A and B are shown apart, each in its own frame.
Chain A
């Protein structure tokens, strides 16, 4: 499933980041920011309009990602 499909307060683990096109700079930056296999993530908050952007906590950091950005991240939900 995609990070953008995760409901508020739900946790998951990152699988990988997919490029939407060749040399996708946003995907590269996401990987640099720590969106790599095995990293736990959680949707902490969502924007007031259309639930966009998403506030994602990864490690100790909170990043605001637009839905289109979060859709590049594929996640899996693991039994906690």
Chain B
């Protein structure tokens, strides 16, 4: 290691403002990846100190204790101790503590100090501490702790200046290594109490504003009502704000593809590959971006404000009964837009077992890609009638499909709970942090990082699958003088005909079976694939209305209902399976989720088809 670089590890309790401080220090110069073999996020950044020295900063996962209780806490423990393979031991540990919550956070500082490495303590949120009249005798605290103490305000410009000056100076001397045993752990609390009595004066244990908000936000009736209204607003925003953007993206990409390929002879393989393969694939990826961005904007804002743990508190009991945890609420909510961001959001569930259950049931939430299929079938087969004077029958059917998805997720989660081997209790033990005004820079950075993850990791998969499926649906081409649609002669067509044997008992005709093949890339592609099979073209809206007319004549009601039931479970979304692979690091769970969803879909469709035929 050269003298001009310094490796700094940033550690602290959850909710100490560590990530905001990291953002303040590094700005956008961050590298976000995973630790090898686990899905714990590794955030690294660098900045150049006034002296010209380059400081490497590692933002370690927040933890309450070095006695690790989850994979991310183990990483923090091992990196700090210098035991993590491939990660050099830090030259300096910056321990971040919330100045308004020192009784909890100082214990961790003492624990880190015992590792025998150079430590600097950053007392963060000093502005809030002053506002609440908390007085901290910093020189005395520094003297008693024996480590340098600086004051920071991570969310204010220049709020980390004193910290930068301190870490840029001489590396402080390390405290002696102390053994870690039960007796000395118990002793830490006594030391914290002594430190607090000597150096901190708090007029009031909690923030009066927090208490006032929580009286409403956690109220058994009003709390749930507030939550329901919030969720409703998010849903509205995700679906109504995103729509014009989605239409614009779709039109833009189609126009770009058309413009780029205008020189090519129409009907050539390259023309088709570019238009129907690559640009269609790109469209399929990008079209969900507005929804995902809006969704993440809300989730990040709620997360930053401190509301999310409150929502988890209100819903924990209900979700725990079903074998989940309150924390699974946000991932499952996100899955209504798309299971991919939902599964990505399960990273906030610290318990690996709860996280896995959430990942397995997330695809059962009705994602927006199923909507085009639902609307096509409902418009074609369900009469537009008014029921009980107020309700629209079509609307009721759509609502029922959503509810069936939710109920089946709860049932599947309870079944998983029953069958898992590890029956020990897993804790909720969740801190409800102080409410905080979301900070623009932190929300924007979070949004940017999630977008990059989505486009880079998921986009590549969707794009390559779309091209592959284009190939399957285009080759071999129709022979000269063929009368049927070209796709009928292709590999996908043959596959569809072969699948027909499997799907005949649930009422699917061979046209549906062919459409299921390209529907593997993204569920809504099944609609345009059906259009191709029935050999029609045009814009999506025109296609849907023409197609609706055709299928309402050619399909029986039983077939249509059976396809609806199929799509409630619809295992055939490759991108979701790819994300499950990435987030669980295991093909086994990919096989389990694909397998159980296929089985449920087949069973539900079989029952729907056979029962409808018996009744009609």
**Distance (whole angstroms) from the CB of B319 to the closest CB of chain A:** 10
Assess whether B316 is in contact with A66, with CB atoms less than 8 Å apart. yes
A52 to B211 Cα, complex, angstroms: 19
Given A64-B432, A66-B427, is A31 in contact with B317 using a C-beta cutoff of 8 Å?
no
Decide yes or no whether A1 CB sits under 8 A from chain B.
Answer: no
Residues of A within 8 A of B67 (CB): 28-29, 32
Assess whether A53 is in contact with B202, with CB atoms less than 8 Å apart. no
Decide yes or no whether B101 CB sits under 8 A from chain A.
Answer: yes
The chain B residue sitting closest to A52, CB to CB, is B317
| Contacting residue for A55 out of B101, B218, B427, CB 8 A | B218
Decide yes or no whether B27 CB sits under 8 A from chain A.
Answer: no
**Residue total for B at the interface (Cβ-Cβ under 8 A):** 39
Assess whether B320 is in contact with A66, with CB atoms less than 8 Å apart. yes
Assess whether A32 is in contact with B320, with CB atoms less than 8 Å apart. no
Decide yes or no whether A6 CB sits under 8 A from chain B.
Answer: no
Assess whether B107 is in contact with A34, with CB atoms less than 8 Å apart. yes
A31 to B64 Cα, complex, angstroms: 11
**Distance (whole angstroms) from the CB of A80 to the closest CB of chain B:** 15
**Distance (whole angstroms) from the CB of B215 to the closest CB of chain A:** 8
Decide yes or no whether A76 CB sits under 8 A from chain B.
Answer: no
Assess whether B107 is in contact with A32, with CB atoms less than 8 Å apart. yes
Decide yes or no whether B185 CB sits under 8 A from chain A.
Answer: yes
Residues of B within 8 A of A69 (CB): 425, 427-429
**Distance (whole angstroms) from the CB of B93 to the closest CB of chain A:** 19
Assess whether B104 is in contact with A59, with CB atoms less than 8 Å apart. yes
Residues of B within 8 A of A66 (CB): 316, 320, 427-428
Assess whether B431 is in contact with A63, with CB atoms less than 8 Å apart. yes
A65 to B316 Cα, complex, angstroms: 10
Assess whether B317 is in contact with A49, with CB atoms less than 8 Å apart. yes
Assess whether A53 is in contact with B64, with CB atoms less than 8 Å apart. no
Residues of B within 8 A of A25 (CB): 69, 427
Assess whether A65 is in contact with B186, with CB atoms less than 8 Å apart. no
Residues of B within 8 A of A55 (CB): 214, 218, 313, 432
Decide yes or no whether B103 CB sits under 8 A from chain A.
Answer: yes
Decide yes or no whether B221 CB sits under 8 A from chain A.
Answer: yes
Decide yes or no whether B223 CB sits under 8 A from chain A.
Answer: yes
Most buried by B among A50, A53, A65: A53
The chain A residue sitting closest to B108, CB to CB, is A32
A16 to B314 Cα, complex, angstroms: 28
| Contacting residue for A53 out of B104, B428, B431, CB 8 A | B428
The chain B residue sitting closest to A63, CB to CB, is B431
Decide yes or no whether A68 CB sits under 8 A from chain B.
Answer: yes
Residues of A within 8 A of B185 (CB): 31-32
Residues of B within 8 A of A44 (CB): 211, 214
Question: 5 additional contacts, CB 8 Å, given A39-B189, A59-B101, A61-B431?
Answer: A30-B429, A34-B107, A59-B205, A60-B103, A63-B431
Using a CB–CB cutoff of 8 Å, the interface residues on chain A facing chain B are: 25-26, 28-34, 36, 39, 44-50, 52-53, 55, 57, 59-66, 68-69
